[in-house]
Structure 1
Amino acid sequence: MLFSVLVCLLVTVFLYYKWTFKYWQRRNIPWLEPSLPFGNLSNPFNRQENLGITVKKFYKEMKQRKWKHGGIFFLVSPVYCVVDLDYVKNIMSRDFHYFTDRSIYFNEKNDPLSAHLFAIGGQKWRNLRTKLTPTFTSGKMKQMFHTLLECESNLLKRIAKECHSPINIKEILSCFTIDVIGSVGFGLECKTFEDEDSPFRIYGKKVFKDSVLRSLKRVFLTSNFPDLARKLGVLAFPSDITDFFLKVVTDTVRYREENHHTRSDFLQLLIDMKNNETLTIEEIAAQCFVFFLAGFETSSTTMTFALYELAKNQEIQSRVREEIGAVLKKYDGKITYEAIHDMKYMNQVIDETLRKYPATTVITRTCVRDYGIPDQDVIIPKGTSVLIPVLGIHHDEEYYPNPEKFDPERFTQENKAARHHYAHLPFGEGPRICIGLRFGLMQSKVGLTSLLKNYRFTVNEKTKEPLKMQVRSLILAAEGEIWLDAHKL
Structure 2
Amino acid sequence: MLTTPAVIATDLDFIKDVLIRDFNYFTDRGVPHNEKIDPLTGNLFALDGQKWRTLRTKLSPTFTSGRMKFMFPTVLEVADRFIETLGELLQTQKTLEVKDLLARFTTDVIGTCAFGIQCNSLKDPNAEFRMYGRKQLENPPHGPLVMALMNMFPKISDMLRLTRAHRDVTKFFMDIVRETVDFREKNNIRRNDFMDLLIQLKNHATLEGEDHESVESKIIDKLTLEELAAQAFIFFVGGFETSSSTLTLTLYELSKHQDIQDKCRAEINRVLEKYNGKLSYEAMNEMHYVEQTVLETLRKYPILPVILRQCINDYQVRGTKVVIEKGTPVQIPAYAIHHDPEIYPDPEKFDPDRFLPENVKLRHSVAFLSFGDGPRNCIGLRFGKMQSRIGLIMLLKSYRFHLSSKSPDPLVFSKKSFLLAPVGGMHLDVEKV
Indicate the TM-score class for this superposition, using the shorter chain for normalisation: over 0.9
The question of 1:460 aligning with 2:404 is answered: yes
The question of 1:228 aligning with 2:172 is answered: no
Q: Matches of 2:418 and 2:321 in 1, distance apart?
A: 36
The question of 1:265 aligning with 2:193 is answered: yes
**1:474, CA displacement in angstroms?**
2.6
Of 459, 463, 474, the match for 2:418 = 474
Identify unmatched segments of 5+ residues in structure 2: 205-220
Equivalent residue number for residue 385 of structure 1: 329
Question: AA paired with 1:380?
Answer: I
Pairing of 1:51-200 with structure 2 (within 5 A) = 74-163=1-90, 164-200=93-129
Of 238, 247, 255, the match for 1:294 = 238
Equivalent residue number for residue 217 of structure 2: none
Question: AA paired with 2:126?
Answer: D
Of 171, 175, 188, the match for 1:247 = 175
Of 262, 284, 298, the match for 1:354 = 298
Identify unmatched segments of 5+ residues in structure 1: 1-73
Q: Matches of 2:328 and 2:147 in 1, distance apart?
A: 17
Of 155, 165, 176, the match for 1:237 = 165
**Identity over aligned pairs, percent:** 48
Is the 8 Å Cα contact of residues 141 and 166 (structure 2) preserved in structure 1? no
Task: Rate the CA distance shift 1:211–1:281 in 2: closer, same or farther, 3 A.
Answer: closer
Q: How many residues align?
A: 415
Question: AA paired with 1:206?
Answer: K
Of 253, 262, 266, the match for 1:309 = 253
Equivalent residue number for residue 215 of structure 2: none
Is the 8 Å Cα contact of residues 83 and 395 (structure 2) preserved in structure 1? yes
Equivalent residue number for residue 396 of structure 1: 340
Partner SS state of residue 279, structure 1: coil
Q: Matches of 1:346 and 1:196 in 2, distance apart?
A: 29
**1:448, CA displacement in angstroms?**
0.4
**1:293, CA displacement in angstroms?**
1.4
Of 347, 372, 375, the match for 1:428 = 372
Partner SS state of residue 262, structure 2: helix
Equivalent residue number for residue 350 of structure 2: 406
Is the 8 Å Cα contact of residues 107 and 236 (structure 1) preserved in structure 2? no
Task: Rate the CA distance shift 1:211–1:126 in 2: closer, same or farther, 3 A.
Answer: closer
**1:210, CA displacement in angstroms?**
4.7
Q: Matches of 2:191 and 2:12 in 1, distance apart?
A: 43
Q: Matches of 2:423 and 2:239 in 1, distance apart?
A: 22
Task: Rate the CA distance shift 1:212–1:471 in 2: closer, same or farther, 3 A.
Answer: farther
**1:472, CA displacement in angstroms?**
1.1
Is the 8 Å Cα contact of residues 107 and 234 (structure 1) preserved in structure 2? no
Q: Matches of 2:138 and 2:20 in 1, distance apart?
A: 32
Equivalent residue number for residue 203 of structure 1: 132
Equivalent residue number for residue 486 of structure 1: 430
Partner SS state of residue 118, structure 2: coil
Q: Matches of 2:127 and 2:357 in 1, distance apart?
A: 42
Equivalent residue number for residue 212 of structure 2: none
**1:212, CA displacement in angstroms?**
9.2
Is the 8 Å Cα contact of residues 85 and 123 (structure 2) preserved in structure 1? no
Equivalent residue number for residue 208 of structure 2: none
**1:419, CA displacement in angstroms?**
0.6
Q: Matches of 1:176 and 1:106 in 2, distance apart?
A: 30
Q: Matches of 1:94 and 1:113 in 2, distance apart?
A: 31
Deviations 1:190-226 (A, max 9, x none): 111122211111111122215593311222222x122
**What is the root-mean-square deviation of aligned Cα atoms in Å?**
1.4
